[in-house]
């Protein structure tokens, strides 16, 4: 059975996967069609924080699926309120709006910010502005790629909505300069994940929060990737002592099993939505709500956030000990780590070699290799990965005559 050929023939060519066919997963390990095992250092772009096929997620999913799957928001359910209550209490927000994917949560945030600007802040109709950062990643819809500074994400998809301003990431003074009376919100990732695991200077977010408050601008943190413990706390924003006005969550919220996303906000922002303003057929369905509530409870019960913190520090210190002329930088926080490879060697080549040793990861922006395993990863896995990274780098150096 040639799975790769089938995907290539019948699928759109919008991805370039490594030539490995994954058929099963359990915890940190996945298996290919030939039974070869791999340690998953990608966890589906941080969506599998609980590990693959977590037994409690499976149980919650099955139990709910046997009762009621989808009913739509035309009716109340016994699941949605419980999930939203848990999320609001954990993340300290008044209200939450459930969607399915990260991009939809970001779209929701953008709509909320614009409507807040008109209805609450008093911005003149159709004049609201959103400020975002260069090198951002917030998703792939037309409105969102309109915010992107990455030429490939935009090429061929214009025209884009108006009302966006881009400023350099990590520079709070640029934010203050860019704000006008029409600014609705500043949308920012606490750490830029897809942009290459870019960690801003300490205190950056706090300074941005103060500037936003001073100018009556909403601070919206896109924590689709950094949230839910990935960087060592429930929200990465909290590490800078910041409670944003709104937050987007996704990925790991679905327990590695289901697409679930949320936009959380304070009341003043969320209450701009009235029935019919916004929605999604699948958003907040009982199956998603049951899975996501269990996903949050597991993060608490298994202390996965503390684990991300502790093992993240361990992983980072170990990666820093790898000696290679190919490694330019090692950075990140919690279990969202990146190793920057010298431009002379495509990072994809390193990823392919690592896969031969049973380690799965992927390059981002061609030069950065991400190490973002499920939060259930163990020290022994980390030791193995670092040992093999050292071996692969030495091998490549020798091939390139760098040694």
Catalytic positions: 137, 222, 251
Query: What's the start-to-end Cα distance of the chain, in Å?
Result: 42
Distance CA 240, CA 229 (A): 14
- Say whether residue 101 binds ligand PMP (CB under 6 A): yes
Q: Where is 355: in which H helix or E strand?
A: helix 347-356
Give residue number: closest CB to ligand PMP: 102
- Say whether residue 193 binds ligand PMP (CB under 6 A): yes
Nearer to ligand PMP, 288 or 345 (CB): 288
The DSSP code sequence of 50-91 is T-BT-HHHHHHHHHHHHH-S---TTS--TTHHHHHHHHHHHH
DSSP secondary structure code for residue 207 in this structure: H
Helices (H) and strands (E) in the chain, counts: 14, 15
Residues numbered 131 to 160 that lie near ligand PMP (CB under 6 A) are 137-139
Work out which of 79, 183, 225, 231 binds ligand PMP, going by CB under 6 A. 225
Nearer to ligand PMP, 287 or 326 (CB): 287
Work out which of 18, 29, 45, 206 binds ligand PMP, going by CB under 6 A. 45
Question: By CB under 6 A, which span of 97-105, 196-204, 264-272, 298-306 interacts with ligand PMP?
Answer: 97-105
Q: Which of 62, 36, 83, 115 is nearest to 261 (CA)?
A: 83
Nearer to ligand PMP, 228 or 396 (CB): 228
- Say whether residue 102 binds ligand PMP (CB under 6 A): yes
Q: Which of 402, 144, 350, 106 is nearest to 246 (CA)?
A: 106
Smallest distance, ligand PMP to C-beta of residue 14, A? 12
CA 116 to chain centre: 25
Smallest distance, ligand PMP to C-beta of residue 140, A? 6
Nearer to ligand PMP, 194 or 294 (CB): 194
Angle between helices 304-320 and 286-301 (to 10 degrees): 70
CA distances from 203 to 174, 178, 249, 395 (A): 15, 19, 22, 40
Smallest distance, ligand PMP to C-beta of residue 47, A? 8
CA distances from 21 to 218, 258, 400 (A): 43, 20, 29
Distance CA 248, CA 113 (A): 12
Number of CB atoms found within 10 A of residue 215's CB: 14
Q: Are 169 and 150 in contact (CB under 8 A)?
A: no
Q: Using alpha carbons only, give the angle 113, 208, 159 rounded to the nearest 5 degrees.
A: 45
Smallest distance, ligand PMP to C-beta of residue 189, A? 5
Smallest distance, ligand PMP to C-beta of residue 222, A? 5
Find the length of the chain.
403
Work out which of 61, 96, 97, 106 binds ligand PMP, going by CB under 6 A. 106
- Say whether residue 363 binds ligand PMP (CB under 6 A): no
Phi, psi of 166 (to 5 degrees): -105, 140
Question: By CB under 6 A, which span of 11-19, 100-108, 236-244, 303-311 interacts with ligand PMP?
Answer: 100-108
Question: By CB under 6 A, which span of 17-25, 111-119, 175-183, 188-196 interacts with ligand PMP?
Answer: 188-196
- Tell which phi-psi region holds residue 338, choosing left (phi > 0), alpha (psi between -120 and 50) or beta: beta
Smallest distance, ligand PMP to C-beta of residue 128, A? 21
Question: By CB under 6 A, which span of 115-123, 199-207, 218-226, 319-327 interacts with ligand PMP?
Answer: 218-226
Smallest distance, ligand PMP to C-beta of residue 253, A? 10
Nearer to ligand PMP, 49 or 225 (CB): 225
Residues numbered 232 to 271 that lie near ligand PMP (CB under 6 A) are 250
- Say whether residue 179 binds ligand PMP (CB under 6 A): no
Q: Are 237 and 247 in contact (CB under 8 A)?
A: yes
Q: List residues near ligand PMP by CB under 6 A.
A: 45, 101-103, 106, 137-139, 189, 193-194, 222, 224-225, 250
């Amino acid at each position: 059975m040639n799975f790769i050929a089938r995907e290539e023939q019948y699928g759109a060519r919008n991805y370039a996967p490594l030539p490995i066919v994954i058929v099963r997963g359990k915890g940190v390990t996945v298996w290919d069609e030939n039974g070869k095992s791999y340690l998953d250092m990608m966890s589906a772009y941080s969506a599998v924080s609980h590990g693959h096929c977590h037994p409690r997620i499976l149980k919650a999913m099955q139990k709910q699926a046997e009762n009621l799957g989808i009913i739509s928001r035309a009716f109340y359910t016994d699941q949605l309120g419980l999930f939203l209550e848990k999320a609001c209490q954990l993340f300290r927000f008044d209200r939450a709006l459930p969607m399915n994917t990260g991009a939809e949560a970001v779209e929701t945030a953008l709509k909320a910010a614009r409507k807040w600007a008109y209805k609450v802040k008093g911005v003149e109709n159709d004049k609201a502005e959103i400020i975002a950062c260069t090198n951002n990643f917030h998703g792939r819809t037309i409105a969102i790629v309109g915010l992107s500074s990455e030429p490939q994400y935009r090429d061929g998809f214009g025209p884009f909505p108006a009302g966006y301003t881009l400023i350099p990431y990590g520079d709070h003074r640029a934010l203050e300069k860019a704000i006008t009376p029409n600014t609705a919100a500043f949308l920012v990732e606490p750490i830029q994940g897809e942009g290459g695991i870019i960690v801003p200077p300490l205190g950056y977010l706090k300074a941005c929060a103060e500037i936003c408050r001073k100018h009556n601008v909403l601070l919206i943190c896109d924590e689709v990737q950094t949230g839910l413990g990935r960087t060592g706390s429930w929200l990465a924003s909290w590490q800078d002592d910041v409670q944003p006005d709104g937050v987007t969550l996704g990925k790991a919220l679905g327990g590695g099993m289901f697409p679930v996303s949320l936009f959380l906000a304070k009341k003043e922002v969320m209450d701009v939505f009235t029935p019919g303003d916004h929605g999604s057929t699948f958003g907040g369905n009982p199956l998603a709500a049951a899975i996501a509530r269990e996903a949050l409870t597991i993060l608490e019960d298994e202390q996965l956030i503390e684990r991300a913190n502790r093992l993240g520090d361990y992983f980072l210190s170990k990666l820093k000990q790898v000696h290679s002329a190919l490694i330019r930088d090692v950075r990140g926080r919690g279990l969202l780590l990146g190793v920057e490879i010298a431009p002379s060697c495509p990072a994809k080549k390193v990823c392919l070699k690592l896969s031969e040793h049973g380690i799965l990861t992927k390059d981002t922006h061609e030069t950065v290799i991400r190490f973002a395993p499920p939060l259930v990863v163990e020290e022994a896995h980390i030791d193995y990965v670092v040992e093999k990274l050292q071996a692969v780098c030495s091998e490549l150096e020798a091939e390139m005559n760098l040694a």
